[in-house]
């Protein structure tokens, strides 16, 4: 387990993971889910008890392995996140059968998932954070939000699958930093959602519960619209 995260209680982690799966099945009764755990925990028995119909229909695939604990302790959750993604892409039967996938950090879900999915460009879509939008400071592209994104498998493997190896270092880069750097340096235009993804649930790194405050969400939508209308940043958004 990554000790840099706030949510370390096993019971709480399981409870919030079950909550997110329940929400995803509510969003779509036909959705296919791959649960990949990097702490060696097999969710199969618990999910069979909690979601017997979905498990019987083979909607949910459970994978588990042990992250490299020494490397995660040294470089943080971003390293573990990259390992989990690569393990899932290598070992998941469901992912072998598709050309693209949606990634969402465990314990989270996206209320407006189908609005985000409607934007799919065949390559890669994610959300990013911009600072200084509502202030006198110069607006800046700060980092990519890796909690939720949609990716073509070949595109992901080419540009993002090894980025966890770049986290940490002298400048203490996070996985969010190196995703942003890769998008800019490779001129991966149209990689940012036009729609603001409404992410809910509990963030394992922060332990924060994203409840979807009405005022906050409208502020986020306004921030996104202002940045999209800024000629310095518009090319990064999927505005076509």
178 lies in some domain: yes
Report the pLDDT value the prediction gives residue 217, as an integer from 0 to 100: 85
Domain-embedded: residue 65: yes
pLDDT computed for residue 2 by the predictor:
31
Q: Could you tell me if 94 and 124 are in contact, meaning their C-beta atoms sit under 8 angstroms apart?
A: no
Q: Give the integer Cα–Cα distance in Å for 171 and 174.
A: 9
Q: 205 in a domain, yes or no?
A: yes
CATH classification of the domain holding 114: 3.90.550
Q: Count how many domains the chain has.
A: 1
Question: Quick one: pLDDT at residue 5?
Answer: 41
Question: Looking at the domain assignment, is residue 4 inside a domain?
Answer: no
pLDDT confidence of residue 58: 97
Closest Cα to residue 146, out of 179, 101, 109, 190?
179
Domain limits for position 22: 10-236
Are 40 and 240 spatial neighbours (Cβ–Cβ below 8 Å)?
Answer: no
Q: Does 5 fall in a domain?
A: no
Provide block-wise average pLDDT over 10 residues at a time, the chain (240 residues): 47 93 97 96 97 98 96 92 98 98 96 98 98 94 97 98 89 91 98 96 70 81 96 95
User: Which helix (H) or strand (E) segment is 44 a member of?
Assistant: helix 44-50
Instruction: Kindly state whether residue 230 falls inside one of the protein's structural domains.
Output: yes
| pLDDT above 90 as % of the chain | 82
At residue 3, the pLDDT reads 33
Report CA-CA distances (Å) from 189 to 14, 38, 98, 127, 235: 37, 32, 24, 13, 6
pLDDT at 9: 73
User: Does residue 69 form part of some domain?
Assistant: yes
- At residue 200, the 3 state secondary structure works out as strand
Residue 1 lies in a domain: no
pLDDT number for residue 189:
98
In this predicted structure, what is the pLDDT of residue 1? 30
């Amino acid at each position: 387990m990554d000790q840099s995260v706030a949510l370390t209680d096993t019971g709480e982690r399981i409870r919030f993971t079950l909550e997110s799966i329940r929400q995803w099945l509510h969003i779509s009764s036909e959705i296919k889910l791959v649960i990949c755990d990097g702490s060696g925990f097999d969710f199969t028995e618990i999910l069979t008890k909690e979601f017997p119909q979905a498990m019987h229909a083979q909607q949910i695939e459970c994978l588990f392995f042990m992250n490299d604990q020494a490397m995660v302790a040294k470089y943080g959750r971003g390293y573990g996140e990259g390992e989990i993604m690569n393990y899932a892409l290598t070992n998941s039967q469901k992912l072998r059968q598709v050309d693209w996938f949606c990634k969402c950090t465990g314990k989270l879900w996206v209320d407006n998932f189908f609005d985000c999915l409607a934007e799919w460009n065949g390559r890669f879509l994610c959300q990013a954070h911009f600072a200084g939008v509502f202030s006198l400071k110069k607006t800046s592209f700060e980092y990519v939000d890796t909690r939720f994104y949609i990716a073509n498998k070949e595109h992901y493997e080419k540009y993002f699958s090894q980025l966890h190896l770049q986290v940490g270092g002298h400048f203490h880069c996070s996985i969010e930093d190196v995703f942003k750097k890769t998008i800019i340096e490779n001129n991966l235009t149209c990689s940012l959602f036009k729609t603001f993804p409404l992410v809910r649930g509990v963030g394992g790194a922060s332990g924060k519960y994203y409840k979807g405050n009405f005022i906050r969400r409208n502020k986020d939508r306004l921030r996104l619209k202002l940045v999209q209308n800024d000629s310095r940043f518009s090319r990064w958004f999927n505005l076509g």
